[in-house]
Chains A and B, each alone.
Chain A
Amino acid sequence: METAGAAKGIERHAHTAPVNQPTDTGPALEISGLEMAFGDVRAVRGLDLVVQRGESLGLLGPNGAGKTTTLRILSTLLAADAGTARVLGLDPVTDGAEIRRRVGVVPQEVALYGGLTAEENLAFFGQLAGLGGARLAERVDWALEAAGLADRRRARVSGFSGGMKRRLNLVAALLAEPELLFLDEPTAGIDPQSRNHVFESVEELRRGGTTIVYTTHQMGEVERLCDRIAVLDRGRCIAAGTLDELRRHEAVAASGAGPGLALAPDTDLERAVELLRASGIDADLRGADADLETIFLALTGRALRDDDGGDA
């Protein structure tokens, strides 16, 4: 029943989801030299990143890489120690209220009130987002349909399955039709059907022009949902590009050129290898078809990150 409801919701979503046209020119996100420390722990160290409007960026990284901290800074929950960030052209420190009006966040935890019904949760968050009257009712109806929970609207969230909660968690962030959406591991711990439902929702948002920043440990999700990928490790961005660019980068690096080598997307790799060899570097193109997980492990290493105790 959940799956059927979810499918119905997606259809409705496809018809009614807003198409967010950028209201400004310029990147949706620009981060330069971002720094954030918690005591002695430097969670973010000089992070640089640019996300274009309408783009879908996958933020990959092991535990403690700084993904969640970065999202918290960009969504105005934390103030960075140093560096600059522009979110939809706005400064998170001085333009926080405007950013919160235009940005949606799907938090890592299921941030819903278990004692309230699905409808009450959505109405509450919708009101806080500035919706009211008929518009609020319309958006709540849409969200319930989109989450496949229209027939459970008056059921308390505490009785929902993990997948139902995750779906509701997602649509609660879409009530105010954000231009930019941060999704922090939105599919953690849910069943394949609900995960697929979330994927379809995100894909629909991409088609609608919403800029998306998506953090996850699941490589397949990034491959499916994201235009570009940024790999974070120990607070820094150690690689960024399309999956193909990362493959090329890793292929050359793996062959001996080293991780510091950056290659443009249109680089003639055979020619690059020739040039590298001429420079005395033992480069080749073996592994240029590696999957993202292989690339990720090559970039971040195979050492366990248990000491990080979770994502910073």
Chain B
Amino acid sequence: MLSTIRALVAKDVRLFARDRTALFFAFALPIVLASVMGTALGAAMGGGGGSSGGVQRIGLAVEDRDGTDASRALVEALEAAAGLSVEITDDARRRVADGERAAALVVPAGYGATLDAGEQPSLDLFRDPARQIASQVVVFQLAPVLFERHGAAQGRGMMSGFLDALDFPEDARAAAEAALERSYDEVEALAQGAEPEADTAEEPSDDAGGFDVMQDAPRLLGLEVTDLAPERDDGIPRSAGASHAFSAMAVMMLLFNLVSTAGTLQDERAEGTLDRLRLMPAAGRTVLTGKLIVSMLLAGVQLTVLFLFGAVAFDVPVLEHAPELAVTSLVWAFAASALGLVFATACSTRRQMESISTLAILGMSALGGAWFPREITPAWFQSAGLATPVAWAMDAYHGILWYGKGLLASDATSGVAMKLGVLAVFGALALVVSSALYARRFGSR
């Protein structure tokens, strides 16, 4: 009995150890994916990002409408901030509406005068609600700069804002403001070297509810926040989550399915039917053309079903952007199908193809932003993402579904035509490569 069990176990261990695909999925793939995610999210979630290290710089569009020494000094301070990548523009709001930046800061006219009067100045912060992580990081990066620049006015302004955040009762507000004023004077005195007085303050109440750091922190900093949530034509707010999810699925799952479709070339090779096709007068490289067309047709059906479900179940604005989505899907289906052919012609067996393509698709999806927003990843990670078709397809779909972009630029937004052009180039290159690989493997037949 024991010897039988031992023999059974030994047999399975041997088979597993000799199955390179199983070994790949058991050991290599988890390590590679964990490394990619650790690198990508390390900076955003704290503790560095593996070998990349450091904090990711978040893009912030800044528009200076004041033009005073004070506003220029603020802008310079923002540019010097370690966590921000500042873009000076005269159309900051559009940069956010366009999806080019997660947030934009507008320094209003009168900023310098307000500061000179010893009052806390107000700044306009435009945020993209679809990119909450990046928007929050922007606020955290703004805080030390604004504290530094606005000094005492900032502190007193924050006190008032703090009371607002607590929904402080109006009848007791005057007393509270006086108490905070005294506290502020004491803190200032401490800063100048005075002895502290006995602490007679009561323990803070646990009932400080109502203060939402993410919502109220900008207000304490004197930021007037506007979330630029796009609306559909019927006035219903768009869902950023659904938009991103359906864009990501349209991109990532299509790649998996099309690689699988292209993999039928491997099946035909193994079963001998590919040779039979190659023996036909009308076959030859038309085999590849046939694979490309059937892949694109399947992609069309798959994307149609996916987006229609999104429209019905999640109010994804599919129908109002049907022409743009159709063109984008056609181009993406072409690029993804051609990429699938590269995998199918480069690999010798279906199992080899499945291992390599799985790793490549998951890697490209992570780099290209199908898993998490690219702006929270290190700069080199973002650059690498642009080398994948996934990033361009994600940007195109998300641009249409969330930002309401058309193919061409409009008054409100830029278009996605350039992104589709890049995708088409990806597809054309992949087609050339797959054709060359096919010829190398099978000759002209």
Contacts and interface: CB of A to CB of B under 8 A. Distances in A.
Nearest to B442: A77
A101 interface: yes
B445 interface: yes
Contacts of A130: 281-282
A125 B280 contact: yes
Given A77-B445, A79-B443, A96-B444, A112 B273 contact: yes
Contacts of A108: 272
A107 B272 contact: yes
B278 interface: yes
Contacts of A114: 271
Contact of B280 (A79, A112, A128): A128
A111 B280 contact: no
9 contacts: A100-B279, A100-B280, A100-B281, A105-B276, A111-B271, A111-B275, A114-B271, A128-B282, A172-B276
Given A96-B444, A96-B445, A76 B279 contact: yes
Q: How large is the interface on A (under 10, 10 to 19, 20 to 34, 35 or more residues)?
A: 20 to 34
A98 to B, nearest CB: 8
Which DSSP category, helix, strand, loop or mixed, fits chain A's interface? loop
Q: Is the interface of B mostly helix, strand, loop or mixed?
A: loop
Contacts of A111: 271-273, 275-276
Contacts of A112: 273
Interface in B218-271: 271
B273 A113 contact: yes
A110 B275 CA distance: 11
A158 B383 CA distance: 49
Contacts of A129: 280-282
Interface string B291-307: 00000000000000000
A107 B444 contact: no
Interface in A67-87: 75-79
B433 interface: no
A113 B445 CA distance: 20
A107 B276 contact: yes
A292 B443 CA distance: 38
Interface of A: 75-79, 96-97, 100-101, 105, 107-114, 125, 128-130, 172
Interface residues of B, number: 15
B272 A76 contact: no
A77 B445 CA distance: 7
B272 A78 contact: no
Contact of B283 (A78, A79, A105, A128): A128
Contact of B272 (A96, A101, A110, A125): A110
A169 B275 CA distance: 13
Interface string B315-354: 0000000000000000000000000000000000000000
Nearest to B443: A79
Nearest to B282: A128
A125 B276 contact: yes
B277 interface: yes
Chain A to chain B: the 8 pairs with minimum beta-carbon distance, closest first: A109-B272, A111-B272, A128-B280, A111-B276, A101-B281, A100-B281, A111-B273, A105-B279
B277 A128 contact: yes
A109 B443 CA distance: 21
Contacts of A172: 276
Given A75-B279, A111-B272, 13 more contacts: A77-B443, A78-B443, A97-B281, A100-B279, A100-B281, A108-B272, A111-B276, A113-B273, A128-B277, A128-B283, A129-B281, A130-B282, A172-B276
B272 A77 contact: no
Contacts of A110: 271-272
Interface string B390-401: 000000000000
A79 B275 CA distance: 14
Contacts of B445: 76-77, 96
Nearest to B287: A128
Contacts of B275: 77, 107, 111
Contacts of A79: 443
Contacts of B281: 97, 100-101, 128-130
Interface in B429-445: 443-445
Contacts of A105: 276, 279
A107 B270 CA distance: 13
B445 to A, nearest CB: 6
A96 B443 CA distance: 12
B280 A77 contact: no
A109 B273 CA distance: 9
B279 A77 contact: yes
B200 to A, nearest CB: 85
Contacts of B282: 128-130
A128 B277 CA distance: 8
A185 to B, nearest CB: 12
Contacts of B279: 75-77, 100, 105
Contacts of B278: 77
Contacts of A113: 273
A108 B271 CA distance: 10
